[in-house]
Homo-oligomer: A and B are copies of this chain.
Amino acid sequence: MKNNQPINGPVVETRLRVRYAETDQMGVVYYANYYIWMEVGRTAFCHERGFSYRDLELNHGGYLVVAESSCRYKAPARYDDEVIVRTSLQSVQRRTARFGYQIYRVDGLLLAEGETFHVLVDRAGRPTTFPVEHLEVLKGSVSA
């Protein structure tokens, strides 16, 4: 059980380098860009946990829209910094999922923490439920 592995548990780390485009005139990363990094972390999480979001969209017409997002900024990230996004799945239900994120500079400085709450909808935008096989993969990836 993943729950017995507190250290190497279902947290997926992904690494990125701050782009010039992501800075603003304050000389630090613009606040909205942390949400893009959360999405990068989310994509990496799904990849590593065997959940194909692309398959969900293409073959099941399921779209995991964002219903809520939030972020607390602790320290600024700067151009060319290496950044680590630690993504975990906090909960999953038949039609919703909640992800959590901790964003660090590579030397260990905590830059930001955030969450996103998602609702599954179909192509027409109506709430729907995860296909069974997708739901099982996700349930196996929830943090303890």
A93 at the interface (CB under 8 A from B): no
Residue in B closest to A79 when the chains form the complex, CB atoms: B25
Most buried by B among A24, A27, A32, A72: A32
Contacts of A21 in B (CB 8 A): 24, 30, 32, 36, 39
A140 close to B (CB within 8 Å): no
Interchain CA distance A23-B26 in the complex, whole Å = 9
CB contact list, A62-117 vs B, under 8 A:
63, 65-73, 76, 78-80, 116
A17–chain B nearest beta-carbon distance, Å: 7
Question: Number of A interface residues, CB 8 Å?
Answer: 37
Check A6 for interface membership: any CB of B closer than 8 A.
no
- Are A35 and B27 within 8 A (Cβ)? no
Interface centre among A24, A25, A39, A67 (most CB of B within 10 A): A25
A28-B65, A32-B35 provided; 11 other pairs, C-beta below 8 A? A17-B40, A19-B40, A21-B30, A21-B32, A23-B24, A25-B25, A31-B66, A32-B39, A43-B80, A68-B72, A69-B71
